[in-house]
Amino acid sequence: MHMTDRGLLALARHEGLVPGPYRDITGTWTFGVGHTAEAGPPDPATMPRGMPADTQAGIREAFRVFRADLARYEADVLRAVTVPLESHEFDALVSFHYNTGGIAKAALTRRLNAGDRKAAAAAFMGWLRPAGIRSRREAERDLFRQGRYPGGMIPVWAVDRAGRVDFSRPVRRLTGSEALALLRPASPPRLPVLEPASDAPAGWLARLVAFLSTLIRRT
């Protein structure tokens, strides 16, 4: 099971995108769409500081890392949850886990596995640190409970060499279609299928084989 396109976009909107390493609210070095060293390489603490010279290349790298991280968080949710899930429920749980890393120990998971979806939805609000996360948690709860996906564009924020993000104004806003194009790996080009012509070189080869067969019979 994988996140839907709408779920991916909702998660990216919650996280925002910073195409250089930055310190999050807890002081943890982070990169791109909420990537930390805990999710695997690259380690944001070792990346070149500040904005990349090529912002578009930095955005592409951020989505490449995001795509790799998602596989791990999706697998964690599938291991922790033992009951069947609707797609919007799965999207909400992956978003929650991507932010908290707590799907295996959360009360909402225990209540969900016990069959109490109403209590599971309410338990999203048990994870409110830092305090500024409340609106995201409410959105995840509503997505889980009602299938209500948030809308809007994905902001791209600037960062300085000290890892401080400038949230006063995004340097760019990505549409859903732009983000999905970056999330999906490019398909390899299809090679044309070459079919022999009806006469030349296939006809020439047939005549050559016949001529050689005649010489062999004469010897």
Q: Domain for residue 216, yes or no?
A: no
Q: Domain for residue 49, yes or no?
A: yes
pLDDT in tens, 70-128: 999 999 999 999 999 999 999 999 999 999 999 999 999 999 999 999 999 999 999 98
Q: Domain for residue 201, yes or no?
A: no
Q: How confident is the model at residue 192 (pLDDT cuts 50, 70, 90)?
A: low
Structurally, the chain folds into a number of domains equal to 1
Q: Which of 164, 166, 165, 161 is nearest to 49 (CA)?
A: 161
**pTM assigned to the model:** 0.80
- CB-based contact 29:62 (threshold 8 Å): no
Alpha-carbon distance 110 to 116, whole Å?
9
Position 200 scores a pLDDT of 47
Q: How confident is the model at residue 132 (pLDDT cuts 50, 70, 90)?
A: confident
Q: Domain for residue 190, yes or no?
A: no
In CATH, what number is assigned to the domain containing residue 128? 1.10.530.40
Residue 35, strand partner residues? 31
Position 185 scores a pLDDT of 61
Taking the alpha carbons of 82, 88, 89, 93 in that order, is the dihedral positive or negative?
positive
Question: 85 vs 11, 76, 100, 109, 126, CA distance in Å?
Answer: 18, 14, 20, 12, 21
Q: Domain for residue 214, yes or no?
A: no
Q: Which domain holds residue 173?
A: 5-183
Q: Which of 140, 148, 150, 99 is nearest to 120 (CA)?
A: 140
